[in-house]
């Protein structure tokens, strides 16, 4: 297909931006690290813990440059992009350490610059600049829209909404949809109502009982300053195949607003932020899918495959850095590993590896490095053996958040309890094969739920005499070693 003039101009702009970035990085070695994940996957906590550990010199035995003492100093520096909000590191750290609450979720893009002074193995002193770009994973799921017409997107969205638990959640929207004529005259009030009901459906899919992940357009759930604008006021219609929208029709109005969404929201994000990333970590709350049931797990698999397909991956070379930058390392991280006993961590990794396997195989064939890890950027529990009769069962000790419940007990947010999280199956495929593989919160009976993971508060920390306390973690150092360890050699 011959590229359009718009696409040619976009390519030129991307290449010009890449050339500028390469020139700056030549004199000041820099990694732009993207941190993303779907809602409540722990992006804010991950960045806060990563920065705190590097600045303070945390316990990172697997992160070779720090463990060997080659990192002399790490400090925050003003970020390079003046039009992007700064990541609120200090307030997020206060929330974790002083207030013992999890920071607010990511709803917009933000950035933080960390400068690392280190010594190479040959003794030469060097500096690496790490620009951390935090953005919602829902925005990533919008990128495939750039290659789809309104009609394609509408057909796919309607087909998905008529499957499994989504069908019940979409009933009110479907009822209104049945009253609309795509080829009838444009109707602003009908469009507003369709957009509202469609957004309500997306929001219901994201509820913890269902934990669906494939929910584009992403800005419908986090509209920010665009709330109420025509670019966010459209919805899928049942449109006839092999036809075009008549002038002045409701269909034509939806097409125009869909294209405006791509021009105003999706393309600027791709051009100004996403296309400039060097490395990427995708945080995944797989436990939420386990809680919800098999439909949520399959939905997560489809979302992760779509996310990986969005990345321009491959081995980074001088030419690619100059003209078409590539992401050469992607880490998929199953978060909240502290909600499972360590004996199940390998199984959690296996489930995530199974979910990204096909897309990861395609990416690795281009020379990109892909890895999977189970981690907890801030560990909220500790392990213990608790006697039950003559048996001693591996358990977790932690403080459930206020309002969490288990076994008929509602927790107050202050009392530490012992919980028995259970074991994930040895065979990851068992969770994917068959609709009745396991039961979740979306089942008709809560008693049928196979997995139920509590939300725990951040742990209480004792500050040492020399400054801020160290945040406990699980495999945060392994993530750092994969993402930037090679650049500190």
What are 30-52's pLDDT values in tens digits? 999 999 988 789 999 999 999 99
pLDDT tens sequence across 272-318: 888 899 999 999 998 888 877 788 888 888 888 888 777 765 444 43
SS3 163: coil
Region of residue 97 (phi > 0: left; psi between -120 and 50: alpha; otherwise: beta): alpha
Q: What percent of the chain has pLDDT over 70?
A: 85
Per-residue model confidence as pLDDT tens digits over 122-172:
999 999 999 999 998 888 889 889 889 999 999 999 999 999 889 999 999
Check if the beta carbon of residue 43 is closer than 8 Å to that of residue 37: yes
pLDDT given for residue 302 in this prediction: 86
Residue 312's pLDDT is what? 64
Contacts of 330 (CB under 8 A, 6+ apart): 279, 280, 281, 282, 308, 311, 313, 363, 368, 369, 370, 371
**Confidence bin at 449 (pLDDT 50/70/90):** low
Q: Is the pLDDT of residue 324 over 50?
A: no
Using alpha carbons, select from 73, 26, 115, 62 the residue that is nearest to residue 485. 62
Strand order in the sheet with 417-419: 382-388, 391-398, 417-419
Using 50, 70 and 90 to split pLDDT, how confident is the model at 27? low
The yes-or-no verdict on residue 206 having pLDDT over 60 is yes
| Chain-centre distance for alpha carbon 161 | 22
- Pairing state between β 369-374 and 329-334: parallel
Q: Is the pLDDT of residue 319 over 50?
A: no
Beta-bridge partners for 371:
331
Q: Mean per-residue pLDDT for 445-458?
A: 69
The pTM score is 0.87
* Burial grade of 334 (CB within 10 A; 0-12, 13-18, 19 or more): buried
Q: What is the pLDDT of residue 376?
A: 97
The Cα 51–Cα 55 span in angstroms is: 6
End-to-end Cα separation, the chain, in angstroms: 43
> DSSP letters along 407-476, please?
TTEE--SS--EEE------S-THHHHSSTTS---TTSS-GGG-S-----BPPPP-PPPTTSSPPPP-BSH
Highest mean pLDDT among 224-233, 253-262, 415-424: 253-262
DSSP 222: S
In this structure, are residues 247 and 1 in contact, taking their beta carbons and an 8 Å threshold? no
List, by residue range, all CATH 3.40.50.300 domains of the chain. Answer: 5-135+273-378+472-488
Strand partners, 249: 185
Decide if pLDDT at 437 tops 60: no
Q: What single DSSP character describes residue 262?
A: I
pLDDT at position 249 over 60: yes
Nearby residues of 13 by Cβ (< 8 Å), 6 or more positions away: 271
Q: Cα(38)–Cα(213) distance, rounded to whole angstroms?
A: 7
- Of 137-141, 199-203, 260-264, least confident by mean pLDDT is 137-141
The answer for 152, left when phi > 0, alpha when psi is -120 to 50, beta otherwise, is: alpha
> What are the two backbone dihedrals, phi and then psi, of residue 330, each rounded to the nearest 5 degrees?
-130, 130
Rounded Cα distance between 459 and 376, Å, is 12
Tell me the mean pLDDT in the region 254-275. 93
Please state which CATH number belongs to domain 5-135+273-378+472-488.
Answer: 3.40.50.300
Residue 108 contacts residue 118 (beta carbons within 8 Å): no
Q: Is 28 helix (H, G, I), strand (E, B) or coil?
A: coil
Of residues 208 and 468, more confidently modeled: 208
The per-residue pLDDT for 316 is: 43
Q: pLDDT (tens digit, 9 = 90+) per residue, 327-381?
A: 889 999 999 999 999 989 999 999 899 888 876 776 666 677 889 999 999 999 9
Q: Which of 177-191, 201-215, 262-276, 308-322 has the highest mean pLDDT?
A: 177-191
């Amino acid at each position: 297909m011959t590229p359009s003039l718009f696409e040619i101009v976009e390519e030129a702009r991307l290449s010009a931006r890449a050339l500028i970035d390469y020139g700056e990085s030549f004199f000041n070695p820099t990694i732009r690290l993207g941190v993303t994940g779907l809602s409540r996957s722990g992006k804010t906590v991950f960045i806060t813990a990563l920065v705190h550990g590097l600045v303070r010199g945390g316990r990172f035995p697997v992160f070779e440059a720090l463990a060997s003492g080659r990192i002399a100093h790490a400090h925050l520096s003003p970020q390079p992009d003046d039009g992007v909000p700064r990541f609120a590191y200090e307030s997020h750290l206060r929330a974790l350490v002083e207030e013992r609450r999890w920071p607010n979720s990511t709803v917009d893009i933000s950035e933080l610059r960390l400068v690392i002074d280190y010594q190479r193995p040959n003794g030469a002193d060097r500096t690496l600049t790490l620009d951390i770009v935090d953005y919602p994973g829902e925005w990533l799921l919008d990128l495939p829209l750039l290659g789809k017409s309104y009609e394609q997107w509408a057909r796919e969205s309607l087909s998905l909404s008529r499957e499994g638990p989504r069908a019940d959640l979409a009933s009110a929207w479907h009822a209104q949809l049945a009253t609309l004529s795509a080829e009838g005259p444009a109707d602003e009030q009908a469009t507003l109502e369709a957009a509202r009901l469609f957004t309500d459906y997306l929001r219901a899919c994201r509820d913890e009982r269902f934990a669906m992940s494939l929910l584009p357009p992403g800005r419908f759930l986090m509209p920010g300053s665009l709330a109420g604008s025509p670019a966010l006021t459209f919805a899928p219609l049942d449109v006839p195949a092999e036809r075009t929208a008549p002038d002045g029709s409701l269909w034509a109005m939806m097409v125009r607003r869909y294209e405006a969404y791509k021009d105003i929201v999706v393309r600027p994000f791709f051009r100004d932020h996403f296309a400039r990333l060097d490395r990427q970590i995708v945080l995944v709350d797989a436990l939420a899918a386990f809680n919800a049931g098999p439909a949520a797990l399959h939905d997560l698999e489809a979302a992760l495959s779509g996310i990986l397909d969005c990345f321009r991956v491959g081995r980074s070379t001088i030419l690619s850095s100059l003209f078409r930058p590539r992401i050469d390392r992607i880490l998929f991280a199953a978060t909240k590993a502290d909600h499972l006993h360590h004996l199940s961590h390998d199984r959690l990794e296996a489930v995530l590896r199974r979910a990204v396997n096909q897309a990861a195989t395609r990416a690795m064939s281009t020379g990109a490095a892909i890895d999977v890890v189970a981690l907890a950027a801030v560990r909220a529990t500790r392990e213990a053996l608790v006697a039950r009769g003559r048996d001693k069962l591996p358990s977790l000790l932690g403080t459930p958040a206020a309002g969490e419940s288990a076994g008929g007990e509602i927790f107050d947010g202050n009392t530490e309890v012992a919980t028995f999280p259970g074991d994930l199956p040895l065979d990851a495929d068992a969770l994917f094969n068959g609709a009745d593989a396991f039961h979740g919160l979306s089942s008709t009976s809560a008693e049928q739920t196979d997995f139920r993971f509590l939300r725990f508060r951040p742990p209480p920390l004792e500050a040492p005499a020399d400054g801020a306390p160290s945040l406990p973690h699980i495999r945060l150092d392994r993530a750092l070693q994969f993402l930037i360890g090679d650049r500190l050699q």
